[in-house]
Structure 1
Amino acid sequence: MDPVRNPYAPGAGQRPPELAGRDRELEQFEVTLERVAAGRPERSMVLSGLRGVGKTVLLNALRGQAVNRVWGTGKVEARPDQSIRLPLAQAVHAAVREVAHRHRDPDRVDGVAGVVKSFAQRTGLPDRRGLRWIPPVDVVATKGRADSGDLELDLIELFSDVGSLARDLSVGVALFVDEMQDIPTAELGALCGAAHEMSQQGAPVLLVGAGLPHLPTVLAASKSYAERLFRYVAVDRLPREMADRAWRVPAAEEGVDFEPGALDLLYEMTDGYPYFVQAYGKVTWDAAVGSPIRSDDVRAGAPEAEAELAVGFFGARFERATPAERDYLTAMADLGADQVPTAEVADHLDRRPQSLSPARDGLIKKGLIYAAERGSVAFTVPHFGTFLRSR
C-alpha cells in the first residue's frame, strides 16, 4: 500500500497516531492538574518501565495536558555524571516564560525572574558545549534568594516563588524529568526534598519523572519518604485489546482493516511492546497490497522489522558496551531468565563475582541492565536476550 499514507510511527519518544492503553494515566493526571490548581493536596507522579514501552511518549502527553490548561511547563533529560542544576534552571525558566506574559503585575514577574536568574547564575556550571547559560531576561539577579549553593534549599526557594506566581493565575507549574534514574543520588534527594516541601506548602508545583524499572528503588534510596511522595505508575506492554487498537484505529482512518489472523500474528511477534507495535505495523503496511491486511503481509514485512530492530534498537546498544560488558550481556542472555542472579553470571563466565563488578556497574550506568532485585540483574530492553542468542 501507499507508504506515504502509512500511519505508523516507530521512533524514540515519537507519539504514535493512537496512544492506546494509556487512558487511565491521562485521566488521573487530568484530575491531578485540577486538584493542584484548586489548592488541594496531590502527589507528583513517577513513570517507570523498560525501554520501548512508551514512557517518554506518555511523559510528553502529560506535559501536553498541562500546556492545554495553560500551566507553565519545563522538561529535563537527565544524563549520567551530569549535574541536574543547569538543566533545572533552563526548565524552570521555560515554565516561567509560559505564564509570565499573562500576569498583570510586571514588577512581580520581574521579581520572580530575578530569582530564576540568581539560581541559574549560582550553578556556575557550563552546558555540554562548554558555555555558561544565563536566562535571557533583562532583570537584576535577586541576591540572597535561591543562590546559597545548597541545591535543596535553593530549589525550595525557587519553586516557592515560581509556584506563587503561577497561583496568581489559578494555574501551576509542572516540571517533567526523563531518565530520572541518572540524576546523582545527592541531587535526586535534593529534588525530592524540594518537592516534599512544595507538597507541604500546598504550592502548585508538580514534578513528573520517568525512568527505568529500578527508579522507585533509586528514589527511595535518596529520600526515605520518596515512596510516599510520588504516585508510581508502572508503564508496561500493551494488552491484546490495546495493541489491536493501536493497529486498527490509525488504519481505519485510511480506510484499511486487518484480518483477525494478521492481528494474532502481529501480537505474537511484538508481545505488545509499543515500540515493536509501531515498527511491525509500519513494515506490514508497506508489504500489504490492499485491505484487509493479511497474515501473509505480516510475514512478508517481518524480516525488515527484525533487521531494523537489530541495527537501531538492539545493535546500537550492544555496540556501546565494552568487550567485558558484552561478555556479561551474553552470559545473561545464555542463562535465559528475565532476572538473572549475578552469582550465576559469574559461574557461567567462570569468574569471581567481585571481578565482574566493573562490567556490571558500567552496564547499569549505560542503561543496558538494571538491578532488578538484590543480587540479580535484568535487561532494560525487551527481547534483548533473544537478540543476543540469535547472534
Structure 2
Amino acid sequence: MPANNPFRPSFGVSPRVLAGRQDLLQDFDVALDEGPGSPLRSLLVSGPRGMGKTVVLNELEDIARTRGWLVLRLPEGTDMLEELEGSTVPALLAEHDTQAVRRRLTGGGISGLGSVSTDVEDRYPVRQSLTRMLGRLSEVLAVHETGMMFTLDEVQDADPDVVGRFATVYQHLVRDEREVAFAAAGLPVGVDQLLRQGGTTFLRRAERVHLDLLTDEEVAEAARATVTEAGRTLGDEAVGAFGQIVHGYPYLLQLVGYHAWRVDPAREEITARDVHRTRPLVVERMGRLVHAPAVAPLPEGQRSYLRAMAVDDGPSSTREIAERMGVPMQQQNVYRARLIGRELIRATGHGFVDVTLPYLREYLRAQPR
C-alpha cells in the first residue's frame, strides 16, 4: 500500500525532496565552518511568491540547528527589538547561562535548629541593552563551540527602521567576531526597499541570493524522487508532463504532485494523464494565491500595462503595448521598468517583454476590466 501523499503544496512548508537549492545550502554550511567574517553568514534571499524563499530559510535554520546553534526568528512588527530585549533573549540567558541566577544568603541557623534561606537575584534585568545581552549569550554559546542565527521572513512586511536598528546590533556582534549568522527572505521589492533605508548599510554587504526557476532536469529529479520514495512510480511521459505544467516553479511542483497523486492513490503508477488533469486547478490556485496578491497593490497604470500584455499569447511588443494603452513610449518605459523591478515581467529582446510568472496571463485575461 503506497504511503500518504508525499507532496506538500503549502507555502513555507519544506518539501520532502528539495529541488535546485543544494549549492546555496552547502555554501552556507561551509560558511559556518569558516568562522566569523565569512561573507555567506549573512544572506538576503529574494524571489517572487512561491519561489521557495521560506523553504530555503527553513533549511538554513536546520543546518544551524544540527550544529547546535540557537536559531532566533526575529518577531514581526514594530516591537521586534522590545520583544527581543524584554523577553526572548533574557529567557535564553536564563536557560543557557549557568550564572544567570545568583542566590544571596539572607538568613541562617544552627544545624538541626533552623534552616538557611536565600533570595533569588536576577542577573539579567530587562534594563540591560540588547547588544550586551546578545554578547553575553554569544559568550555562553562559545563555550560549547556553537553560535546563534537570526532569521527574518517576509522582509517586505517588516518595518525598515526597526530592521535598521537591529542591523546595528548585529553589526556589533560581527565586529566583535561572535559566532553569529543572519538570513532574511522576501520579495525583491521588499529587499530593495530595506537596503535603501538609512541604517541598513551593513546589510548591503550581505550576500544577495536571488532564487531562479528550477530547470526541467531539477523538476524531473525532484518529482521522480518524491514519488518513488513514497512507494509509487512515475513514468517518463508523466515526468515530462510535470515539466510542461510546473514551468520551473517550486510551489507548482508540489501542487501538481499533490493532486496527481490523489487521482488514484491505490494505483502504483502516476500517469501523464493524472498530471495533465491538475492544470485547471493549478491555474485557479496560482491566480488566487500568487497573482492576485501581486497585482492588487499595483497602481492602475501598471495593471493596465499587464492587461495590454495579456492580449498576446507570447512576448509583447512594447510599442504595441503603448498603442493599446494610448500612452507615449516614454510613459510605457516607466511602467515597464516598474514591473520588471517587481519581477512580474521580463525583457525578452529589444523592444519585447513577457510575463515572468506562470499562468499570470491566464489570470489577467479572466479578470473583469
Q: CA deviation at 1:313?
A: 3.6
TM superposition shift of 1:200? 2.0
Task: Give the Å deviation of 1:41.
Answer: 4.6
Counterpart of 2:179 in structure 1: which amino acid? P
Cα offset for 1:351?
5.5
- What aligned pairs does 1:243-258 form with structure 2 within 5 A after superposition? 243-258=219-234
1:297 & 1:102 partners in 2: Cα distance?
52
SS of residue matched to 1:50 = coil
Q: Contact (CA 8 Å) 2:64, 2:149: kept in 1 or not? A: yes
- 8 Å contact kept, 2:155–2:191: no
**Which of 207, 227, 232 is the equivalent residue of 2:182?**
207
> Structure 1 or 2: larger helix share?
1
Matched, 1:282 2:280: no
Q: Shift of the alpha carbon at 1:348?
A: 4.5
3-state secondary structure, aligned to 1:101 = helix
Q: Secondary structure at the match of 1:45?
A: strand
Whole-angstrom distance in 2 between the partners of 1:91 and 1:225: 20
CA deviation after TM superposition for structure 1 residue 290, in Å: 2.5
Q: 1:386 to 1:213 in 2, by over 3 A?
A: farther
Partner of 2:51: 53
Encode CA deviations 1:344-371: one digit per residue, 9 max, x unaligned. Answer: 97764335888xx99x99x99xx89699
Out of 99, 117, 125, which is 1:140 matched to?
125
CA distance in 2 between counterparts of 1:159 and 1:210 reads: 22
Identity %: 25
Partner of 2:73: 75
The question of 1:170 aligning with 2:145 is answered yes
Matched, 1:27 2:26: yes
Determine the C-alpha separation between the residues in 1 that align with 2:346 and 2:163.
18
Gaps of 5+ in 2: 103-121, 348-352
Superposed counterparts of 1:1-391, under 5 Å: 5-36=4-35, 41-42=38-39, 43-76=41-74, 83=78, 86-90=79-83, 93-94=87-88, 97-98=91-92, 100-107=94-101, 140-142=125-127, 145-146=129-130, 156-157=131-132, 159-214=134-189, 217-222=192-197, 223-224=200-201, 226-227=203-204, 229-288=205-264, 290-315=267-292, 318=295, 326-327=303-304, 329-331=306-308, 333-334=310-311, 348-350=324-326, 381-389=357-365, 391=367
With over 3 angstroms needed to count, the CA separation of the structure-2 counterparts of 1:232 and 1:5, relative to structure 1, is: same
Residue in 2 aligned with 1:129? none
After superposition, what is the alpha-carbon deviation per residue over 1:116-164, rounded to whole angstroms, capped at 9, x for unaligned? xxxxxxxxxxxxxxxxxxxxx9963226x35xxxxxxxxx555434433
Give, in angstroms, the shift of residue 28 of structure 1.
1.9
- 1:55 is displaced (CA, Å) by 0.5
Partners of 1:285 and 1:167 in 2: how far apart? 47
In the superposition, the TM-score normalised over structure 2's length comes to 0.73
Q: Which amino acid aligns with 2:234?
A: F
Which consecutive residues of structure 1, in runs of 5 or more, have no partner in the other structure? 109-136, 147-155
Partners in 2 of 1:187 and 1:337 — Cα distance?
43
What SS does the corresponding residue of 1:209 show, helix, strand or coil?
strand
Residues 6 and 383 (structure 1), Cα distance of their counterparts in 2 relative to 1, 3 Å cut: same
SS in 1 for 2:96: coil
1:234/1:312 CA distance change after superposition, 3 Å: closer
- Cα distance change of structure 1 residues 97 and 383 upon mapping to structure 2, 3 Å threshold: farther
How far, CA to CA, are the matches of 1:237 and 1:211 in structure 2?
A: 16
- State which structure, 1 or 2, has the greater radius of gyration over its C-alpha atoms: 2
1:324-344 residue CA offsets vs partner (Å, 9 max, x unmatched)? 775454345457888998x99
Could you tell me whether the CA contact under 8 Å between 1:237 and 1:273 is conserved in 2? yes
TM-score normalized with structure 1 length: 0.69
8 Å Cα contact 1:18-1:246 kept in structure 2 = yes
In the TM superposition, what is the alpha-carbon distance from 1:278 to its structure 2 partner? 0.6
Distance 2:277 2:201 in 1: 52
Q: What's the CA shift for 1:251?
A: 1.3
1:291-345 Cα distance to aligned partner (Å, 9 max, x none):
332222222333333333333443465567787775454345457888998x997
Q: Aligned equivalents of 1:331 and 1:44: distance in 2?
A: 40
Structure 2 partner of 1:151: none
Give 3-state SS (helix, strand or coil) of 1:5's partner: coil
Counterpart Cα distance in 2 of 1:389 and 1:106: 62
Deviation at 1:275, TM superposition (A): 0.3
Q: How far apart, in 2, do the equivalents of 1:368 and 1:59 lie?
A: 20
> d(CA) in 2 for partners of 1:378 and 1:220?
27
Question: What amino acid does structure 1 have at the position aligned with 2:173?
Answer: M
Deviations 1:150-199 (A, max 9, x none): xxxxxx55543443343344321211011224444444443444333332
